[in-house]
Structure 1
């Protein structure tokens, strides 16, 4: 048994060596041995390529504004490992992690010597979350973010009140497939028999697959752009204003404090989910709670202003769709400013197209690497550059300190790429520079 938090965390992280092992049998086995805690919690399940974390945050904030206790399970973390399992935005504490790890370790040891094989790091953390929300810090609702894909993701042992699929993009193609249809099929795996599904998917091939899967499961489906409409969008100083209509009602002039037109889509999915839960008697949340929840929602590392003077923005744009959203915002929101982008990414991403798009909207670009097993080197990133104003740096910490302290007037600094990098960079900027 573990005696300290550090021992428990080291054991959890050591299970990364097992890699990604899609399938539900190990989770089902552990849940049965634990007394099926996943059946004791009312859940909402959120999958998709981009926007999962933001949608979780919007929905959590609405439910909190309505007076409910809300557990969230998200990944990866931005500030600390513990935040992956949180209640009303407060992460599980170190002693609770220790207790949870000691609950799961004997089961993991038994699986290690079975035909099913040992559980992965993500499976261990998922199992811990179910125990936490069902037994240790009981919640009214738990909002679960899919880790990878959906159909074989360890969170997919849930039977939720409603499922949300934010969108479908070409990410994790080595695992999920290299076409929109193939990836959409994996994402649509979270649709359960008769359980409503809400989707922000716009890509036609992907939407066709999701719609077909919903029909086969006899699940009502609400689609952004059809049953859910966003109108009247306008940018405000630190956020977005827009109106939403759904089959359950209309809300004019909603505001969110997260930046980007894509956040209006994520927020509208959360609004539709809250309205559905309200319509069917699971919650009581009126217009005031929805407005308050959206306005107060905050998710770090997503077009986040960590400094106003000089302007420093962090954004975890880690795939093609994320890069496109960032590029669109830089072009439309910061006209007249010069943009310096610092970029680090994982080597299994479509780096050439991502770099090309960022160089289109930057006046200067610097490639860096960071300490992570799958991180691309600064040299490899720079080799893909076609921009004449691009460079590379070995020490990203020294680079950020120098740039933030000496940024010329009229420039903004945008730190972007892998969420793992953003997590490190955010902590360093806030603790060591600002």
Structure 2
């Protein structure tokens, strides 16, 4: 191809939503490249639109998405216009970019992609190299909020880590760190303290921080960073807490006790005690905004917003006959949380669980929470290039079972095809049983789409 042809191709606009998504996701081979230089350059070229927005920046290993869902739901009930940027998505690429609970329109995404494309290609020609898929998505979100929708607040979820995450280009009104766990340790460091150091990278000078971090070594890092930055820290168990009042499937009531006041009862319909923690983090964040930013929010809006918050693919019952529950528990903390919820929230005679994982996960520590509670385990493969082979996952299961033959007496089924595996799960799950699909969100997205007959599913990052 001649230089002239290459230049013509680079300069060509994208003609459809599908082309725009293909162009953005086509940047995946550039991988996750930590650092803010490329996105800073991109923002500079666009006249720094992010500086005109109020961000609530949310980081953490688990619970980010649910906390973002609570914040969005309550602020909407309070009459605010809200942008919500999250990842990965469960159904469609546009899920990432929401305004007042609605996805970005396909035509708007196409228009913004065309605005970004020449800048992305110019940077790709420089020594910085091509911006990544996540960098371009993040820049597109900023343009959507700063130039198209103008929300009062943007609920802004980190992608990976914090310090070097692309989303860290913003200067928020409050920073939130939900928790620290054993995930992405290949990229973020091999100790909880190292991971905490990366997440603490979103703490900005003088900007308040809300967290639910529990491990002493992680707490120490967060406290030290907040002190160095002269940021007031609100930590679960110290400056605020939640107390369960009542619990049943699809309804949890709790009391929130904070520095400024106590609120009770508050109700959430998301399941699992971790969701009370996520809700408490959201409430404390909003209380901080009341104090620092004069946020006006009626108690009715707080209460209704929490109750109505929904988050797909996390302890979500997608079928009643048979009962099939989806939960994207893809790391040890997520699996522990799922096991706890299956023990204290759901009633069933037999538990049948289907699982598919990615290659780069801590499979052993995920399985140790799951194997003791299942009657049947179906291992399968997500439809994704980084999948863990079902046979390799089954091998780990067998090794663990040999070490504890008396405690682990479930039936193991290996079915690489996820559609066939789902059929088996549905057939096995009797009237009084519970079927669960867990593991990577790539699998959850496909299964959810299949069960809910949603043909619009694109799934992925």
Give 2:248's aligned residue. Answer: 236
Distance 1:296 1:211 in 2: 33
Distance 2:244 2:339 in 1: 22
Q: How many residues align?
A: 433
Give 1:346's aligned residue. Answer: 358
Alpha-carbon shift at residue 405 of structure 1 (Å): 5.2
**Aligned counterparts, 1:376-391, within 5 A:** 376-385=388-397, 386=401, 387=408, 388-391=410-413
Distance 1:406 1:365 in 2: 11
In the alignment, is residue 316 of structure 1 matched against residue 338 of structure 2? no
Distance 1:195 1:234 in 2: 35
- Of residues 125, 135, 159 in structure 1, which corresponds to 2:137? 125
Secondary structure, counterpart of 2:435 in structure 1: strand
Give 2:430's aligned residue. Answer: 408
Alpha-carbon shift at residue 333 of structure 1 (Å): 2.1
Give 1:214's aligned residue. Answer: 226
Distance 1:290 1:19 in 2: 39
Distance 1:429 1:116 in 2: 44
Please list the CA deviations of residues 6-62 of structure 1 after superposition, one character each: whole Å capped at 9, or x if unmatched.
Answer: 111111111000011000111111111111111111110000000000000001111
**Structure 1 residue ranges (4+ consecutive) displaced by more than 4 angstroms after TM superposition:** none
Distance 2:365 2:153 in 1: 40
Give 2:212's aligned residue. Answer: 200
Q: State whether residues 2 and 98 of structure 1, in contact with CA within 8 Å, keep that contact through their aligned partners in structure 2.
A: yes
Distance 1:192 1:323 in 2: 32
Alpha-carbon shift at residue 425 of structure 1 (Å): 1.1
Give 1:161's aligned residue. Answer: 173
Distance 1:303 1:266 in 2: 14
**Aligned counterparts, 1:8-407, within 5 A:** 8-385=20-397, 386=401, 387=408, 388-404=410-426, 407=429
| TM-score normalised over the length of structure 2 | 0.92
Distance 2:454 2:133 in 1: 30
Give 1:427's aligned residue. Answer: 449
Distance 2:265 2:123 in 1: 52
Distance 1:342 1:262 in 2: 22
Stretches of structure 2 lacking an aligned partner (at least 5 in a row) = 1-12, 402-407, 456-461
| TM-score normalised over the length of structure 1 | 0.97
Q: State whether residues 244 and 252 of structure 2, in contact with CA within 8 Å, keep that contact through their aligned partners in structure 1.
A: no
Secondary structure, counterpart of 1:160 in structure 2: coil
Stretches of structure 1 lacking an aligned partner (at least 5 in a row) = none
Please list the CA deviations of residues 138-162 of structure 1 after superposition, one character each: whole Å capped at 9, or x if unmatched.
Answer: 1111010000000000000111110
Distance 2:248 2:425 in 1: 27
Secondary structure, counterpart of 1:116 in structure 2: coil
Q: State whether residues 271 and 345 of structure 2, in contact with CA within 8 Å, keep that contact through their aligned partners in structure 1.
A: no
Secondary structure, counterpart of 2:451 in structure 1: helix
Distance 2:93 2:245 in 1: 35
Distance 1:311 1:225 in 2: 36
Q: State whether residues 239 and 260 of structure 1, in contact with CA within 8 Å, keep that contact through their aligned partners in structure 2.
A: no
Distance 2:349 2:173 in 1: 45
In 2 relative to 1, CA 336–303 (structure 1 residues): closer, same or farther, beyond 3 Å? closer
The higher radius of gyration belongs to 2
Please list the CA deviations of residues 257-303 of structure 1 after superposition, one character each: whole Å capped at 9, or x if unmatched.
Answer: 10010000000010011111122344210211110110000000010
Q: State whether residues 352 and 428 of structure 2, in contact with CA within 8 Å, keep that contact through their aligned partners in structure 1.
A: no
